[in-house]
Copies of this chain bind each other. A is one copy, B any other.
């Protein structure tokens, strides 16, 4: 069973906090926006979003920085995922 995001949406899996620390990135932030490292699981096709062309630049397998509280949480096969818009992705971590 798979989830195929629509439009400019991206399915990500937040990394556990331990893994985040291990990777050498410790994330702090303001109260209203706490970035977190996540793995990209699936990427929507992009195209016209609210009448504006969106090209997807994030790829499946990328590790990305995004806000802990943005998007919508989904549980599938016992695992937690999140669906965010590409504009909620701050950066790619390499």
Contacts and interface: CB of A to CB of B under 8 A. Distances in A.
Count copies of this chain in the complex: 7
Given A2-B94, A6-B92, A25 B72 contact: no
Contact of A54 (B1, B9, B48, B65): B48
Interface size for chain A: under 10, 10 to 19, 20 to 34, or 35 or more residues?
35 or more
A9 B9 CA distance: 19
Given A47-B55, A65-B3, A91 B87 contact: no
A18 interface: no
Interface of A: 1-7, 9, 11, 23-30, 33, 35, 44-45, 47-55, 57-58, 65, 67, 69, 72-77, 80, 83, 86-87, 89-94
